[in-house]
């Protein structure tokens, strides 16, 4: 259509309707000359803004959370199976002289539990052979709460010598025995929280006491062997610097049904094959486990080579 006349001015009349925001009414006719007759009908700027729409979801619609895969070491089950094979003889010191073998099987239940706790306290920084010999002397003397309290420090020291830090352990045995008599009726606590409050008892001892004395799995008992081997095998997301860090890292991915066996399995493996110094890599079935990711023994050897190599003004550290 052509332009329509409005006085001396002209304006265009749209041929079709323009669809606006939620409106089908035609736009106002615009006068090219600024005629008030037509400009008075123009909408205000606020009226011509696009209306915001609110988006709502159906109540029945459930947004599924993003699933993240739990980290675990590559082929750790195969490594564990090979360690089981190497430990099939069960002839390591821990198998014959560990805390499970140091209590009197004929004693009352609460006395058995006390002797388990005592053997664990003596085992810190001490070889199983030395701990077993000390426990044998203590049991012959009378390893009960009352007997420990009635024994003078000098005699008690002679009975447990030469366990590591034996003087400190004499004090811990006396203090712990007093707490057990006064607060627990001569028995040991049945929780990790209660056990770690006893003088000289740490997390490793507490978890092992729960397993051996109370037959409850509360956590992994991580000592220096488990700590060392877990790092060597790459069973941790990142290297750890303490047994307690290792325990927490292992419990994040290791199935709970394997927690109980982890201690005796890796301790015996560490006593016979994966030694702290000069491990017997030549007889380890994990030696050539994975050529791509390197065996733990090879990594250990590389670490030793580099840690012993020092240059003037330069040092290389393989692991923190």
**What is the DSSP secondary-structure string of 100-153?**
GGSS-TTS-HHHHHHHHHHHHHHHTTS-HHHHHHHHHHHHHH--SHHHHHHS-H
The answer to whether 248 touches 238, Cβ cutoff 8 Å, is no
- Quote the pLDDT of residue 113: 98
Q: pLDDT digits over 67-87, tens only?
A: 567 899 988 999 999 999 999
Positions annotated as catalytic residues are 204
- Whether the CB-CB separation of 188 and 209 falls below 8 Å is answered with yes
pLDDT number for residue 312: 41
Tens-place pLDDT, residues 277-299: 999 999 999 887 644 345 565 55
299-316: pLDDT as tens digits: 555 655 555 554 444 444
- The pLDDT tens digits of the residues spanning 216-267 come to 999 999 999 999 999 999 999 999 999 999 999 999 999 999 999 999 999 9
For 114-142, what is the mean pLDDT? 97
318 versus 161: the higher-pLDDT residue is 161
Domains in the chain (CATH in brackets) are 76-89+222-300 (1.10.1670.10), 102-214 (1.10.340.30)
pLDDT at 63 over 60: no
Name the band, by pLDDT with cuts 50, 70 and 90, for residue 18.
very low
Residue whose pair of structure tokens reads 């009197």 in the numeric block:
104
């Amino acid at each position: 259509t052509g332009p329509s006349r409005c006085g001396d001015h002209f304006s265009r009349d749209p041929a079709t309707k323009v669809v606006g925001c939620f409106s089908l009414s035609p736009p106002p006719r615009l006068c090219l000359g600024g005629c008030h007759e037509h400009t008075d009908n123009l909408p205000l700027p606020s009226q011509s803004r696009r209306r915001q729409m609110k988006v709502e979801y159906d109540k029945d619609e459930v947004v599924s959370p993003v699933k993240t895969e739990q980290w675990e070491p590559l082929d750790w089950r195969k490594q564990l199976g090979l360690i089981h094979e190497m430990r099939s003889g069960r002839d390591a010191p821990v198998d014959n002289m560990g805390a499970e073998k140091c209590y009197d099987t004929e004693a009352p239940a609460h006395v058995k539990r006390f002797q388990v706790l005592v053997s664990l306290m003596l085992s810190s920084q001490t070889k199983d052979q030395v701990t077993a010999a000390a426990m044998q002397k203590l049991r012959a003397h009378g390893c009960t709460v009352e007997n420990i309290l009635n024994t003078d420090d000098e005699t008690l020291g002679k009975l447990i010598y030469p366990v590591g830090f034996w003087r400190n352990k004499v004090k811990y045995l006396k203090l712990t025995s007093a707490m057990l008599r006064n607060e627990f009726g001569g028995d040991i606590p049945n929780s990790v929280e209660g056990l770690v409050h006893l003088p000289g008892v740490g997390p490793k001892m507490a978890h092992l006491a729960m397993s051996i004395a109370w037959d409850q799995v509360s956590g992994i008992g991580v000592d220096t062997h488990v700590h060392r081997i877990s790092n060597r095998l790459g069973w941790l997301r990142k290297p750890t610097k303490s047994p307690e860090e290792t325990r927490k890292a292992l419990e994040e991915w290791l199935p709970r049904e394997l927690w109980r066996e982890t201690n005796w399995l890796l301790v015996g493996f560490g006593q016979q094959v994966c030694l702290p110094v000069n491990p017997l890599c030549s007889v380890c079935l994990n030696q050539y486990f994975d050529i791509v990711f390197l065996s733990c023994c090879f990594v250990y050897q590389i670490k030793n080579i580099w840690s012993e190599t020092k240059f003037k003004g330069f040092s290389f550290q393989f692991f923190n």
